Every structure is written in structure tokens, then in C-alpha cells.
Structure 1
């Protein structure tokens, strides 16, 4: 592994920072975001610490902040760029 290689923890930290920043722009607390997403404050707190969270939690937060379509487009673009074919 290279010394400056990006780690999973680095990405989780960026996701945590993104969630905190977007909440700040919207002026809502962890409690308010959790309530709007029908999840516990601990779930949001874990996302923003960064601790392990589910993909569903991450996607729901992206959807709440109108970023889900951008994330989906990013995935589709990378699939197209790599000429990935479905397994099934």
C-alpha cells in the first residue's frame, strides 16, 4: 500500500463532513435530520463521527439533500467509462 493512498476511513470522514456541512447550510440538528428521515439521532451521529453506517443511511441522507441523482450519475458514468457489462 502506498503511503498517501486514500483509505476507507478517509472517505468515511469526508461523508461525515459532508453531512455536517449540509445540515449546517439547512440549519437543522442531528435530531431534526433523523426525524425527517425516520431514523434515530444515533444513526446520524454515527454517520457524522464517522462510524460504520449502512448504505441505506448514506443514500437516504444524499436523497434528503438532493444529491442522490448526482451520486447515481457518478456511478453510471463510471460503469460506462469502464465498459462494465452486467453479470446477469
Structure 2
């Protein structure tokens, strides 16, 4: 059972993920427009992702792939899956 204070809202998670993507972009010294151009997306799409607004899973995965972060995400998901599997 979760403590009520431990539960994050979907919006909080989206904002955290967006912040991570923004950090990756800034570390690469890129503007939103430059990243959008690289990924054949609009700047608004990148802005929405970074702000936690109306982002698709495809957009998130394309950004993570561009910054070579897919392996880390995949490992995190598999680690959580193994923990869940061990409970049964």
C-alpha cells in the first residue's frame, strides 16, 4: 500500500521527464528549434515535451534516442520488471 504522500501525480512525472529532456538539450548547447529540426518536429512539440504538456511517447523516445539515453531507460524498465517478477 502506498503512503498518500509517496504517490506522484501524472503531471508531476511528465514535468520531471520534460525537465530531464530539457537538461539533455541544454547540455548539448542546442535550442528547441535546433533539436526540432534534427528530429523533423516542430519547436512547439519540443516545448510541450519539456513543459510536460501533450507529449506523445514517440516524441519522448525520439528525443531520448537522439541523446543516446534509450539504453538507460531500457535498463531501468527491465530492472523494475525483474523486481515485479520476483514478487510472484
2:56 to 51, 54, 57: 54
Deviation at 1:80, TM superposition (A): 1.6
> How many residues are aligned here?
84
1:70 aligned partner? 72
More helix as a share of residues = 2
Give the distance between the partners of 1:4 and 1:50, measured in 2 at CA: 20
1:83 aligned partner? 85
1:20 aligned partner? 22
Give the distance between the partners of 1:57 and 1:26, measured in 2 at CA: 18
The 4+ residue runs of structure 1 with deviation greater than 2 A are none
In structure 1, the gaps of 5 or more residues are none
Give the distance between the partners of 1:16 and 1:83, measured in 2 at CA: 29
Q: So what's the TM-score if we normalise by structure 2?
A: 0.85
Give the distance between the partners of 1:41 and 1:68, measured in 2 at CA: 22
Give the distance between the partners of 2:31 and 2:12, measured in 1 at CA: 24
Deviation at 1:55, TM superposition (A): 0.4
Deviation at 1:3, TM superposition (A): 4.2
1:39 aligned partner? 41
SS of residue paired to 1:11: helix
